[in-house]
């Protein structure tokens, strides 16, 4: 599939196209569709009412989804252990691509820039997934060879009824945890001599700062639109939706670049 060639069955309106991408079950086809959608310059119709004709999100048969505790421990000493880690990261990026597509299609009545932002996120997450899958192949494995968990999508599903809760608890909570987690993982991979994987994590961290900033910006927009105070509203939403407890150490420099205020950073547990 060429970057600008969407299948004839795929809608030409951006939100409907994003839904079609989300419903696709084949990872390679999903990545190609996202790239084509990003290149096509489609316009969004924020007022359109869309109904998915299939299970959301579309998933491949593998990997098997298991509770997080059953995913397996990953030692950097062996190539197998590094492959397990790269697979886990690829699974996170696959889910992150889906969550960006869900943010695109699900929430109408948002400004044009909202859809442009989430289209960019979907395209970058698809690139991250492709880079990790290609490196997994170098390590002698493929996406689906190991189990994965569904923690990220569980919060996406919980917040499907409110774009404010989605912005609060997915990009600026769960994805922001990636800002904290990536540097130590990169250090472990580099120490193990896998500089190719370390370089991929450099790309992911660079882009994820922007993704979290998008979540912060639209959360602030929605709070202002509804006359809500940012910090108190976040605390209330975290309790209401049972968001995971944040634990340090925190990448404060990356969080600042992603738009968190000093007051918000002071709310993080010490």
Q: What is the DSSP string of the chain?
A: --TT---TTS-SSHHHHHHHHHH---HHHHHHHHHHHHHHTPPP-TT-----SS-SS---S-SPB--GGGS----TTSHHHHHHHHHHHHHHHHHHHHHHHHHHHH--S--HHHHHHHHHHHHHHHHHHHHHHHHHHHTT--TTSS-B--HHHHHHHHTTT-HHHHHHHIIIIIIHHHHHHHHHHHHHHHHTT-HHHHHHHHHHHHHHHHHHHHHHHHHHHHHHHHT--HHHHHHHHHHHTTPPPP-S---HHHHHHTT--HHHHHTS--
pLDDT tens per residue across span 15-53:
999 999 999 999 999 999 999 999 998 999 999 999 998
Reading the chain (270 residues) residue by residue, the pLDDT tens digits are: 444 567 777 788 999 999 999 999 999 999 999 999 999 989 999 999 999 988 899 999 999 988 877 776 777 888 999 999 999 999 999 999 999 999 999 999 999 999 999 999 999 999 999 999 999 999 999 999 999 888 889 999 999 999 999 999 999 999 999 999 999 999 999 999 999 999 999 999 999 999 999 999 999 999 999 999 999 999 999 999 999 999 999 999 999 999 999 999 999 998
pLDDT recorded at residue 168: 98
In the chain, what are the domains?
75-266 (1.20.1260)
With 0.75 as the threshold, say if the pTM is over it.
yes
């Amino acid at each position: 599939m060429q970057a600008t060639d969407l299948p004839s069955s795929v809608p030409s309106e951006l939100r409907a196209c994003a839904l079609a991408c989300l419903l696709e079950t084949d990872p390679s086809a999903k990545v190609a569709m996202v790239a084509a959608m990003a290149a096509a310059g489609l316009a969004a119709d924020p007022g359109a009412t869309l109904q998915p004709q299939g299970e959301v999100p579309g998933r491949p048969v593998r990997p098997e989804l298991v509770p997080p505790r059953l995913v397996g421990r990953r030692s950097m000493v062996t190539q197998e252990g590094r492959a397990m880690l790269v697979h886990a990261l690829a699974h996170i990026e696959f889910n992150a691509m889906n969550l960006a597509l869900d943010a695109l299609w699900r929430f109408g009545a948002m400004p044009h820039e909202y859809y442009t932002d989430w289209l960019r996120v979907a395209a970058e997450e698809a690139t991250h997934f492709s880079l990790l899958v290609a490196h997994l192949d170098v390590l002698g494995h493929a996406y689906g060879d190991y189990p994965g968990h569904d923690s990220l999508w569980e919060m996406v599903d919980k917040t499907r009824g409110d774009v404010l809760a989605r912005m609060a608890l997915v990009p600026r909570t769960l994805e922001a945890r990636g800002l904290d987690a990536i540097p130590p993982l990169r250090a472990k991979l580099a120490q193990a001599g896998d500089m190719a994987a370390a370089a991929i994590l450099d790309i992911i961290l660079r882009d994820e700062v922007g993704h979290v900033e998008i979540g912060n910006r639209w959360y602030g927009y929605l709070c202002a639109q509804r006359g809500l105070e940012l910090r108190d509203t976040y605390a209330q939403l975290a309790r209401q939706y049972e968001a995971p407890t944040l634990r340090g150490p925190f990448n404060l420099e990356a969080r600042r670049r992603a738009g968190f205020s000093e007051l918000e950073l002071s709310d993080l547990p010490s």
